[in-house]
């Protein structure tokens, strides 16, 4: 009889120790898997025409930053909406940049064939790390983030954006 409470107590301690160890390992693994912070405003990308685009030049006004690729069906579907947003919101201070996570030639063809007017730059495969550092934990496309005029990220969305979502973002970003 006396051994039973001792055995139950030891079993309880073993469960607590096992749970604690599992929690510690999960925390350690999630920290190791977390993307390194990348300072967006220090980066420079190549535009589709070959000229450099320094992100620091886009700071000071609200920015809509979209990560996309020519092989991404939802990206292609939302591109006309982003192009329209760029032209309609420019007068109110918004800037839009589409960062292509793709090879230069397909991007240039896509822009020319669809007559896209919004600024497009080439991030290549390095853009996935940047999008992850901005909150795209899945690394999915399309991914869009909004920044206020101070450069702080205010919104983010994985998947194609809608006009309603962009309107809400505009209303909540200065």
Any idea where the domains of the chain sit in the sequence? 1-34, 40-172
What's the pLDDT score for residue 38? 87
Would you tell me how many other CB atoms lie within 10 Å of the CB of residue 140? 14
**Of the ranges 35-39, 119-123, 136-140, which one carries the lowest mean pLDDT score?**
35-39
CATH of domain 40-172: 3.40.30.10
Q: Across the chain, what does the average pLDDT equal?
A: 86
pLDDT of 16 > 70? The answer is: no
Q: What is the pTM of this model?
A: 0.79
Contact status, residue 111 vs residue 146, Cβ threshold 8 Å: no
Distances (CA, A) of 132 to 100, 135, 161, 173, 174: 15, 5, 18, 22, 24
Strand, coil or helix: 171: helix
Residue 37: per-residue pLDDT: 74
């Amino acid at each position: 009889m006396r051994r039973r409470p001792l055995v139950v107590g030891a079993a309880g301690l073993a469960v607590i120790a096992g749970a604690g160890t599992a929690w510690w390992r999960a925390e350690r693994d999630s920290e190791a898997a977390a993307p390194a912070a990348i300072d967006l405003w220090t980066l420079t990308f190549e535009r589709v025409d070959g000229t450099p685009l320094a992100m620091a030049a886009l700071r000071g006004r609200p920015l809509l930053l979209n990560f996309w690729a020519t092989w991404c069906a939802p990206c292609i579907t939302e591109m006309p909406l982003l192009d329209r947003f760029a032209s309609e919101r420019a007068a109110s201070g918004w800037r839009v940049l589409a960062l292509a996570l793709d090879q230069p030639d397909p991007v240039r063809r896509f822009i020319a064939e669809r007559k896209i007017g919004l600024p497009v730059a080439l991030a290549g495969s390095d853009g996935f790390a940047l999008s992850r550092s901005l909150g795209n934990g899945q690394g999915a496309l399309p991914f869009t983030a909004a920044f206020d005029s101070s450069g702080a990220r205010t919104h983010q969305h994985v998947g194609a954006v809608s006009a309603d979502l962009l309107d809400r973002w505009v209303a909540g970003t200065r």
